Structure formats: structure tokens, C-alpha cells
Amino acid sequence: MMFKAAVAQLGFWVGDIAGNVDRVIRAGVKARDELRADLLVCPEMCLLGSPADDLLSRPAVGKTIATGVERLLRELHGITVVVGLPEFTPQHQVYNAAIAFRDGALLARYRKQLLPSDGVFDEGRHIHAGGDAAVFEFKGVQVGLCIGEDTWQPGPIRAARQAGAQVIISLNASPFTRTRRTDRRGMLATRCEESALPILYVNTVGGQDELVFDGASCAVDAKGELSFQAPACVEGVFTCDYADGTFTGDQAADDSEDAAVYKALVLATRDYVDRNGFKGALVGLSGGIDSGLVAAIATDALGADRVWAVSLPSRYTSDMSNDDARAESEALGIHYSVLAIDPVVSAATAVLASSFEGREPDVTEENLQARARGVLLMALSNKFGHVVLETGNKSESAVGYATLYGDTCGGFAPITDVYKTLVYRLARYRNSLSPVIPERVLNRAPSAELRPDQKDSDSLPPYDELDAVLEAYVDDIRSIDSIVADGHDRETVKRIAALVRQAEYKRRQCPPGPKVSRRAFGRERSYPITAVYGDL
């Protein structure tokens, strides 16, 4: 009872059914002919891509999936294949399913039993729950199938064992978060210990709008010990051997948390730009820490020849900021331009002069500067086909410390789910690979530079304190009383919570960016804009 399994840890494009079928066929041929594998396992929903959301309601999807399956059965021979797909029934029901086949014949069909309705997924919107285990014989081994959430709870694997399974293959489209590796390992160890069965866990890889899938496919033996692990955030077909009741294979080294987050952001940015057909990326490079990190991420994602940094100085921009922006562009080897915004701001101010007569300058004039920058960046985007990468972080987004239609202009926001304190850690991590972000950018007080001597601390609590409160309030959904009990000042916590509520309307109008925290703004955290809920 021995066989070699190949794991198709690949990026499957949402909606590209024909292309995804091609990817499975290529992986199958490689696994069979080059890697000498007996079995190919592909991720959850890979024929349609995940998450497909309301694409599942399109009338043509079912027929196109059926055509794709027919092609797989017709063209892929000499290897057993397990593949994830949406299954459409004649009764117009949709299941998150997996099929196993060999040489044109179906060996098993499984329907996902547990459908997550929290976090980033709402499978119950379109998908029906399955109810039965699926086990098939392969090389003298009884193989049970599970999908996604089925592996996180004991019931489906227990049912597969009762149906005779000796090993579990779990198909997944599991998004990355900072703690996901630890969470997965603990979950898999628990399931293996409960069932006394080894599990081969196969995960997709790649960026998809607000999500990034990190791969990191693995196997855990019946005692809960890791026995195989593919690298994170890397596409490939990876192999492991099954013998004597255990999968064994190479074990890629675990990344540090900062390295893992950085790799996920690079992957998410690359796939968003490439899959949406942009020629490259524009970054408004201010000489500050946020734009400095985004420029590095973009360059690592796309290559220096596809990144364009634009410095947009005003009369308040310091020489240090201008010098640091230029220095980083040179270190990264990216295209660099300087477009002064004062003429644009002066023209807008002149047009508005009669309307503003009798009113003192205030934040309006500061916001005009940010919006002038947005106008220029978006004009370059339109003319040259580059997407603007918005450079705001989660701390600023949470409390609304950004100018709508100014700082928030862009098509993708790589660090929108990265708290400011983590921004600094990621910048230092990137500099450990090669020093590209000037050291004084990491050390000086952050500032929007919209008025003389401005600092972020003029408007916000220190970022260490702000981020601790935000993580408790936003990510962990804790009450104000609970957060105060940790030792935080009540008025400060109430003020931060109020800012989060007030900024909801801004966040709804901001570009998407990849989730890396436990709870990201957007599809995972849906709060009303118009609501009065005070200190809840």
C-alpha cells in the first residue's frame, strides 16, 4: 500500500473555467510524466476559482463546468485525479463538490457538508450542504474526501472513518492571515489525533481581490505530527509519498510572521495587477514609511520595470522627504518622477476663493493638497494603464485619518489591513533582505506634511496605543469596558471607537486590499454607515 501523491498548489483564476481546466491538465501531465506520481490532488473549487460569489448564479456556469469535466475525463489519463468544483444538479441546486476519477471513469463524488457563513465566506448564499461521506479505493487504500470547513470540525472526518477511510484528503481554499499557519496546524493535529488517520491538506495559492491564499499545503500523520509541507505563497506541483499509513515528503521551512505577511502582500499585489490586465503600478512616494513599504512590495511583486514612483511635493514637504523618496527609487531601480502640486492647489484655491470668502483656512485647504495628488496620480493611471496603489494602512483607515478622494485614490491598497506598528516591522524585514527604505524613514516621526511641523501624533494617540485598542475593538470585537480593563484610558478608548464608527462611510469608498489580520474591513466586517450604537 504505497503511492506517490502530487499536490497541485496552483493559482486558479476565478471565472476562467477553460483556463483552470488547462491548469489541471498540465499539472496532471507533469505529475504523471515528470514526477511519476500516482495521484494528483487539486484544491477546493479550483475549476471555477474561489471565492466565486455571485458567479454561481450565472446560468452558463453549470454548463461550462460540465464541459470542463467532460474534457478532463477525456484528456487526462494514466493518473488518478481529485479535483474541486461546483456541482450543479438538474434541480438547480449547487454544491461545493469534489470528484475523483481515472481514465475517464468517476471513482467518487463528495459534497461539502459544513458551509461557513462567517468571516470572508457566505457559502450558504448559493450552495447547498452535502450529507454523506465519500470513500474510494486507491492502490489498496481507502481514501476519504473532505472539503474546507469539513476538516475544521470533527463530524465529517468521523463519518469518513466510519465509512472505511484509512486516509483523508482535504481540499481547501483557505485564505492567509497572520495566525493561519498556527491555527491550521493545531486543527489538523486535533483531527488526526481524534480519528487516528493521516490527512493530506491541499490549499490553493494566489491573490483574489481582498483575499490572498498562501498555499502551504501539508500532511499530518495519525499522531498529529507534520510530515510534509509545501512552501507558502509559491505555485508548483509538489509531491509526497504514502506508505505504512503516513504521508512523508519535503518540509519547507516556516517563515517568520513578518516574512509570511510580506510574502502574502507581494503575492496579492502581483495577482491583482496581472489578473486585471494593468501594465504596471503607480505609487505616490512621499518619503514616508507607508508609501516606502508599498513601493518595495510593488517592486518585488512586479519587477522594477513595471513600477513608477511619483513624488508629489507641496510647499510643506521637507527636503528630507524629497531626498528619501528619490533615494528609495534609486535603490529599487524603479522609474521616478517629480510633479509639484502647488500649481494645482493654487488653481483650485483661486476657483474657490469667492465661495470661501470670509472663512479662515482649515482642514479644507489641507485636503485640497491630498486631492491634488490624487488627481495627478489618476491622470497618469488613465494615460499609461498603470493602477494606482493606495498607500494607507489599517490604523489610518480605521480612524479615518485619510482624505477621501485624496490619500484614498487608487485601485488596490496593499497595506490596507496592516496596522501601523506592523508597517514598521515589515519595512525592517524588507530591509533585512536588501536595504531599500532609507533608515531615517524608519526612525523619524510620521507626518502627512499638509501644514508646517505637522505630525500624526497631533491628531492621534501614539501608534502603539492606538493599534492595541484597534486590534481589540475591531479584530476581537471587544467592548469598551473590556478594553479599559486592560489598562487603557476610558476616554481614549471611547474616542478611538467613535472615530472607527465615523469613518465607516470613508472605508466603503476605498479600494480593496488583501486581508492579513484576524478581521479585515470590507467583506469580513459589515457594519451600517448610518447607525447610533454609542459605546457598544
Contacts of 337 (CB under 8 A, 6+ apart): 308, 309, 310, 311
Cβ atoms of 57 and 10 closer than 8 Å: no
Q: pLDDT digits over 93-116, tens only?
A: 999 999 999 999 999 999 999 998
- Predicted pLDDT at 449: 63
Exposure string of 326-353, with b = 16+ CB inside 10 Å and e = fewer, is bbbbebbebbbeebebeebbeebeeeee
- Predicted pLDDT at 536: 65
Q: Which grid coordinates are listed for 371?
A: 486631492
- Predicted pLDDT at 455: 72
Q: What is the pTM of this model?
A: 0.94
Domains of the chain (ranges, CATH numbers): 2-254 (3.60.110.10), 260-456 (3.40.50.620)
How would you class 359 by CB atoms within 10 Å of its CB: exposed for 0-12, middle for 13-18, buried for 19 or more? exposed
Cβ atoms of 503 and 398 closer than 8 Å: yes
- Predicted pLDDT at 326: 94
Q: Which residues of the chain have pLDDT under 70?
A: 447-451, 453-454, 457, 534-536
Say how many C-beta atoms besides its own lie within 10 A of residue 118's C-beta: 7
By residue count, the chain amounts to 536
Rounded Cα distance, 441 and 36, in Å: 51
Cell 467592548 belongs to which residue?
A: 479
- Predicted pLDDT at 78: 96
Identity (one letter) of the amino acid at 136? F
Say how many C-beta atoms besides its own lie within 10 A of residue 491's C-beta: 9
Q: Rounded to an integer, what is the distance from CA 528 to the centroid of its chain?
A: 24
How would you class 530 by CB atoms within 10 Å of its CB: exposed for 0-12, middle for 13-18, buried for 19 or more? exposed
Q: pLDDT digits over 293-304, tens only?
A: 999 999 999 999
Say how many C-beta atoms besides its own lie within 10 A of residue 59's C-beta: 8
In this structure, is the dihedral angle defined by the CA atoms of residues 29, 35, 41 and 47, taken in order, positive or negative?
Answer: negative
Contacts of 440 (CB under 8 A, 6+ apart): 320, 324
